[in-house]
């Protein structure tokens, strides 16, 4: 399964995404983030980065994400992490994925490992 993770603001959320990348078995990892998130790295784990403009209104942000995600996903379903970011970013990313169309399974890293919610 592919992992699509939002990387934005949120206390400890970058660690959550890094942990998911390290502990999960992903066919591909796509990080979606604001310009400052380009600095994110997890040693030894390759990923694609999709930059977005967090100042765009919701509909424009959804369209931007949909355009940039189109053609990058191979499966019919992806794991999605929205531990990072705000409500507008969460809605835009989820809506963009469902519009592709692709199914989503929410995922998180817990003390018991990677779980699907």
Regions of the chain with pLDDT less than 70: 10-11
The whole-model pTM stands at: 0.94
Report the pLDDT value the prediction gives residue 11, as an integer from 0 to 100: 57
- Residues with Cβ < 8 Å from 96, sequence gap 6 or more? 62, 63, 65, 66, 69
Dump pLDDT digits (tens) for 52-74. Answer: 999 999 999 999 999 999 999 99
For residue 9, count other CB atoms closer than 10 A to its CB: 14
Given the structure tokens 């400890």, which residue do they identify? 12
Question: If you write DSSP's letter for every residue of 60-89 in order, what string do you get?
Answer: HHHHHHHHHHTTT--SSEEEEE-SSS-HHH
Contact criterion met (CB below 8 Å) for 35 and 116: no
- DSSP assignments along 20-41, one per residue: HHHHS--SEEEEEE-GGGGG--
CB 27 within 8 A of CB 45: no
């Amino acid at each position: 399964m592919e992992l699509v993770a939002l990387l934005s603001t949120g206390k400890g959320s970058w660690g959550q995404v890094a942990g998911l990348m390290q502990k999960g078995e992903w066919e591909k990892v796509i990080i979606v983030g604001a310009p400052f998130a380009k600095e994110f790295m997890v040693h030894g784990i390759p990923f694609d980065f999709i930059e977005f403009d967090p100042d765009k209104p919701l509909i424009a942000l959804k369209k931007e994400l949909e355009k940039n995600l189109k053609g990058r996903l191979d499966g019919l379903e992806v794991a999605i992490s929205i531990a990072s970011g705000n409500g507008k970013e969460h809605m835009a990313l989820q809506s963009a994925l469902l519009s592709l169309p692709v199914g989503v399974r929410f995922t998180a890293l817990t003390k018991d490992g990677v779980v699907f919610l």
